[in-house]
Structure 1
């Protein structure tokens, strides 16, 4: 006990700068602050959350994207509890139900695993019996192989190997893949998709639950994390962009300012690393320079308050949009519909007004929504995620320079493998891994 007290006492003498207040950065900062380290978070924007943040519009609280959480995302849920955020109040939690128009529905009943999955697959609606058995067979093959492929390949190539019918691909695999990996089937990693299925459909029954946020993505976790950090004596600076990091004899300096930090965790997105100048050569991962990125477009459509979807979330097959969310169920904003278009596509060539017009028309034809909306808002994240391609070589959290660590959904983690795509859970896990690695490094100095 005395030894642990000595460690805590020494850690309180250290100061760490965290660059970026997204989910990875706020997790790293929270873990450090909880260990007694003095933390300073530097965020270039006015709002916390990074690529999952609040966007204000005429008094309404919107998000820059519509993210979905599953029960298997235990890292995020545990961190929310740690900073005092109520995960039960923050989410509308429901058993797995994927309804994709026209007519497909897969629902996992409240049965013990793996019966919930078996019943869900066997009684999926909108498929012929041969298509159902094809889906069951493929999931069973993946389970038998412990969700591992001998060699990674694209999702489309893997589905071809598994002899998946076109109807099954358009109604199940296509919406699922772009939602989970935000990468087209022709480019997406089948192994990473299986990792997601392993932890959701292949896990405990509750792991497959769908958690629909009730709060904007800044209030859901980063804002609460900021309060936690500040209560521990740390600082969270908004509108403070860090352009230069310099290694000096005493530690690390930011933007040439006088304050010196003992260590730095860089939680900037991979495409933002090229704008950061670090005095130590090769400290930033070179492999990300050749990466490609995928966009996410979210179109908010405000209808009359009495307009409502039959479910909080619906999928669309063979359409421009993949998923449609009714924020009346979750955010008490009646008539507000969020339409999500994941990954690249022909929609990128359209002007915002033309895109909104086509989506309104599509929802009218497919879901019987009104012919016109009261207003719309198009939010585009051009580089929302890295393209999650087969055998993508991802950097670890640790760099070649002592005291300089990386955090972000793009990293491979301390174990040297990147299990997850660019998700909130991936960001949280990376932030936690970076903090744990740095704390071990600081402790070893004792």
Structure 2
């Protein structure tokens, strides 16, 4: 059946939100706040989607499915946290943008106007040659003068090809893989520049790193579920949405597994949304199903008494690519969380996932023993290796993402939906808010 067969719906009253990731939670909270009767349906037994806490193992502190970070420019995410009763300052450690190695060398952004702070930070990197510092300063100024825009077909590697190799290796490559989870050789330069723009020019504190002190469940998923239930929303966890169809009574809206709703927000994964819309909106469905994905692996390590040079450090890649898989390490003790626990993050992890989690864990453990100095190797042990095989979509130049609107009274939310951001928490939250706004704006 064509999408156009559904009639134009009046202002929705009963809304189903499919998916309780950060996009679905944002949509459910926003719709509830506007006075609608919301039913939230989530396939997994816990909310959070791809940014969630894992069930705690006996005798172990809870772990997350990966090490996530925010930045100060994530204003929609921070506002949503406050809306459901969470103080971001209590659950997030705010740090000036810092991109340093295990020896503490690298970029440390100070306070004050960000452009000048960035310039001062670059010229304070005394382990770089003056030509390398000048090249990055000139490149940043050129991006600013061009409005942080470039040819939409460019990759980050093409954008930065004129920079010295050391600048690309120590600054561009780790920043690109952290922000887009896509290697610079294939990542969209347009999206990369958008992230830089919002971090550097969205106002004071926009570039700050916000690193979780608490499990991800405490940041938004569980508080949002509790808030929704207090407001009278219906929440179904561990339930799959099987079929989407026109309402049997002929009224505007849709039926989800036979239950009628005035409007539906598909905030599930792109693949699940594609399945549900295959016969309703085939063009939209095909676009949603066409994504390629990139995994992220997080290896948790315990090393009592160890510390890193900063709460987050960048790690060098091995020249051959067959060792030292993690690009970043996080010191949970320095974050005020669990002393002696460290998270080693492998972004763009497809080659390591192919080699298996056991081999990846062994390689990360060797990497940890090399970076956690002053601790006997036998006191450094691997706790758990977690792989999210579809952590993010590959953020490629010219990528066509599906729009918010699918059909009348049917919209999509998720970081895969068309928007300016890569696959980030902020992109997910903004898409959830935009989906509800699109329903309200429909004629």
Give the drift of 1:179. 0.3
1:255 matched residue in structure 2: 257
Given that 1:106 and 1:125 are in contact with CA atoms closer than 8 Å, whether structure 2 keeps it comes out as no
Given that 1:244 and 1:278 are in contact with CA atoms closer than 8 Å, whether structure 2 keeps it comes out as no
Given that 1:22 and 1:267 are in contact with CA atoms closer than 8 Å, whether structure 2 keeps it comes out as yes
Distance (whole Å) between structure 2 residues aligned to residue 174 and residue 269 of structure 1: 28
| Mapping of residues 94-133 of structure 1, within 5 Å | 94-101=95-102, 104-133=105-134
Distance (whole Å) between structure 2 residues aligned to residue 155 and residue 93 of structure 1: 28
| Mapping of residues 58-73 of structure 1, within 5 Å | 58=57, 59-73=60-74
Gap change, CA 1:346 and 1:394, over 3 Å in 2: closer
Given that 1:103 and 1:125 are in contact with CA atoms closer than 8 Å, whether structure 2 keeps it comes out as no
Residue 360 (structure 2) pairs with residue 355 (structure 1): yes
Distance (whole Å) between structure 2 residues aligned to residue 228 and residue 283 of structure 1: 36
Distance (whole Å) between structure 1 residues aligned to residue 96 and residue 88 of structure 2: 16
**Backbone CA RMSD of aligned residues:** 1.9
Gapped regions of structure 1 (runs ≥ 5): 1-9, 413-417
- Give me the TM-score of the superposition, normalised by structure 1: 0.90
1:379 matched residue in structure 2: 386
Distance (whole Å) between structure 1 residues aligned to residue 227 and residue 98 of structure 2: 35
What secondary structure is seen at the aligned counterpart in 2 of 1:225? helix
| Mapping of residues 37-436 of structure 1, within 5 Å | 37-58=36-57, 59-101=60-102, 104-160=105-161, 163-248=162-247, 249-250=250-251, 251-256=253-258, 259-276=259-276, 280-282=280-282, 284-304=284-304, 306-318=305-317, 319-330=324-335, 332-368=337-373, 370-372=376-378, 373-399=380-406, 401-412=407-418, 418-436=419-437
1:6 matched residue in structure 2: none
Given that 2:96 and 2:209 are in contact with CA atoms closer than 8 Å, whether structure 1 keeps it comes out as yes
Gap change, CA 1:47 and 1:270, over 3 Å in 2: same
Given that 2:294 and 2:394 are in contact with CA atoms closer than 8 Å, whether structure 1 keeps it comes out as yes
Given that 1:409 and 1:426 are in contact with CA atoms closer than 8 Å, whether structure 2 keeps it comes out as yes
Deviations 1:81-117 (A, max 9, x none): 1111111101000111111246641111112333212
Deviation above 6 Å: which 4+ runs of structure 1? none
Deviations 1:97-146 (A, max 9, x none): 11124664111111233321221222224311111011111111100001
What secondary structure is seen at the aligned counterpart in 1 of 2:329? strand
Given that 2:104 and 2:310 are in contact with CA atoms closer than 8 Å, whether structure 1 keeps it comes out as no
What secondary structure is seen at the aligned counterpart in 2 of 1:355? helix
Distance (whole Å) between structure 2 residues aligned to residue 71 and residue 228 of structure 1: 24
- Give me the TM-score of the superposition, normalised by structure 2: 0.90
Gap change, CA 1:199 and 1:84, over 3 Å in 2: same
Give the drift of 1:407. 0.2
Give the drift of 1:150. 3.5
Q: Which has the higher mean CA deviation after the structures are superposed, 366-375 or 383-392?
A: 366-375
Distance (whole Å) between structure 2 residues aligned to residue 288 and residue 187 of structure 1: 20
Distance (whole Å) between structure 2 residues aligned to residue 232 and residue 103 of structure 1: 47
Gapped regions of structure 2 (runs ≥ 5): 1-9, 318-323
Distance (whole Å) between structure 2 residues aligned to residue 222 and residue 262 of structure 1: 25
Distance (whole Å) between structure 2 residues aligned to residue 370 and residue 324 of structure 1: 18
Given that 1:95 and 1:209 are in contact with CA atoms closer than 8 Å, whether structure 2 keeps it comes out as yes
Distance (whole Å) between structure 2 residues aligned to residue 281 and residue 149 of structure 1: 33
Deviations 1:212-263 (A, max 9, x none): 011222220122222222222111210011121111123322223xx31111
What secondary structure is seen at the aligned counterpart in 1 of 2:306? coil
Deviations 1:2-38 (A, max 9, x none): xxxxxxxx96x71100000000000011110000000
Q: Figure out how many residues of one structure are paired with residues of the other and give that number.
A: 421
| Mapping of residues 28-39 of structure 1, within 5 Å | 28-39=27-38
Deviations 1:186-206 (A, max 9, x none): 110011000000011234331
